[in-house]
Structure 1
């Protein structure tokens, strides 16, 4: 089955936010969660958004991903302003063009790992056998060969997050959004998961946007922006494309080219 959206590649579309604001409350008591944020995320780039609680970092991620509609401003993706799309169109966008990794993984407990990873493809209309075949290749690629039939309760926290990463990448999204993806993991396991996440997204050509309060997590990314009071307060670019070794005191894990999708052409 041929996908309705192209696989990301170098030189693909950037994700561009322009003058985003988000205001909550009433005229008598308002909260400016975002106060004019402009940001561009390039294909293959890994971006960390840092800031204390209440700084606006999660609101920014939700606006970039089409989960929340900003009060004003634009989010441009592949020639469309995400903020003006209907709810139905944004749902399709999140399913086909964007991938998500959450702090708790949010896997369905009754499904085995391979079906959890295959969900985006099956929801997009891919036959179950074909979708699970692609998902199985991703699981093997991420070090979970032989665990395809294990349910989330039979996996460690790090293994479950790898399944979540496979789910995020199985449909070849243009952007992967991760909200505190290692917040529920110990430091060592979290570093391993971050290595997998950053390398796998980069190798697939997808951009990666991570929200975190942890500087150690941010050091895995090629660029970091800091937020305070709904505004971008600073920016730092890592000297190399991968800073995981510096963050962990070791050598960043090398992840090979993502698995081929096979004769079915699912991307």
Structure 2
């Protein structure tokens, strides 16, 4: 199996000399067409790793390869375009624009890429329907529940047909039951779209939805294992 995203000897250092903090201390990680959970306690480097893999920040040293491109060698502008076209993102709070209805929030990446509004919103509406939000397209974020808002965020992440979706604590602001529902939808929707999924979480219940889990500690990978995958009822299979 060929990795679609590969990190080699990633290092991220903040500060110099005796006060230097090593957020990443030489991480090697291959990501395949899979669902992958990145676990670890606060300060272990898991969010820094996600940001480097997604081209949000450039590491101090090392490389990240995506479809033959080394993200660390691209300009900020080119990384921005890549994040808009090849990568999707789901954040803890959803980060939806409060003044836009659900369908336009979901369509936003397409419209920013130059797709006409009608085409973009039609594609977004199909994803909203797929995620159980048919009939709620014109509701604004303040008129949606937390779980519904995260479904809109998932639709927004998938509307550009990305190769990888990055999710940073996607259930952190939700209750346990809603969080399980959202994770089930996130895993199934990314799989249906043919995208890989990389989830940063401290919650073993969230990680259980992914087919593979890596654990970080002190800026290093300390464990890498295949996991039993959660079934729709929350049980493991």
- Give the TM-score normalised by the residue count of structure 2: 0.97
User: Which residue, out of 189, 205, 221, partners 1:216?
Assistant: 205
Decide whether the 8 Å contact of 2:100 with 2:140 is kept in 1.
Answer: yes
Q: What does the per-residue CA deviation read over 1:36-87, in whole Å, with 9 as the maximum and x for residues that have no partner? A: 10001112x0000000000000000000000011011100001100011000
Decide whether the 8 Å contact of 1:33 with 1:54 is kept in 2.
Answer: yes
Decide whether the 8 Å contact of 2:190 with 2:196 is kept in 1.
Answer: yes
| Partner residue, 1:198 | 187
Offset of residue 97 of structure 1: 0.3
1:33 aligns with 2:14: no
Offset of residue 247 of structure 1: 8.1
Partners of 2:222 and 2:24 in 1: how far apart? 12
Partners of 2:18 and 2:163 in 1: how far apart? 40
1:146 aligns with 2:104: no
| Partner residue, 2:155 | 166
Q: How does 1:1-267 map to 2 (within 5 A)?
A: 14-43=4-33, 45-239=34-228, 243-245=229-231, 248-249=234-235
Offset of residue 12 of structure 1: 8.1
1:12 to 1:115, Cα distance in 2 relative to 1, 3 A: farther
Task: Name the SS of the counterpart of 1:111 in structure 2.
Answer: coil
RMSD of the alignment, in Å? 1.5
Task: Name the SS of the counterpart of 1:28 in structure 2.
Answer: helix
Decide whether the 8 Å contact of 1:13 with 1:78 is kept in 2.
Answer: no
1:148 to 1:248, Cα distance in 2 relative to 1, 3 A: same
1:75 to 1:250, Cα distance in 2 relative to 1, 3 A: closer
Q: Name structure 1 gaps, 5 residues minimum.
A: 1-10, 252-267
Decide whether the 8 Å contact of 1:201 with 1:208 is kept in 2.
Answer: yes
Task: Name the SS of the counterpart of 2:18 in structure 1.
Answer: coil
Partners of 2:177 and 2:214 in 1: how far apart? 24
Task: Name the SS of the counterpart of 1:137 in structure 2.
Answer: helix
Partners of 1:234 and 1:28 in 2: how far apart? 28
Partners of 1:248 and 1:140 in 2: how far apart? 23
